[in-house]
Structure 1
């Protein structure tokens, strides 16, 4: 019984660790994409609401 509980806990910790690594990766990619992207001027539609 204790072995099963320990295995389930270890699997849960590994899952949380993998989720944390993926979250950190995607956050880094998103931030770099925003910072490294050249500003677009005059392309596409305006995001401002029209009065």
Structure 2
């Protein structure tokens, strides 16, 4: 489970960096950042739920 979240975080961060490098793909950078943050939130929520 955690391995999947870490892989997704790396992929989303890569998309964000690639989007900023290729300025015409700014939408890709925004998408990468949004997905990166969403993955972090999902991981935190699932971790908090597992502790209960």
TM tier, smaller: 0.5 to 0.7
RCO higher in 1 or 2 (8 Å CA, sep ≥ 6)? 2
Larger Rg: 1
What's 2:36 paired with? Answer: 16
Structure 1 consecutive aligned stretches of length 4 or more whose deviation exceeds 4 Å: none
**Structure whose residues are more often helix by fraction:** 2
**What's the Cα RMSD here?**
1.4
TM-score (norm 1): 0.53
Mind listing any 5+ residue stretches in structure 2 that lack a counterpart? 1-21
Aligned length: 31
2:26 pairs with 1:6: yes
Mind listing any 5+ residue stretches in structure 1 that lack a counterpart? 33-51
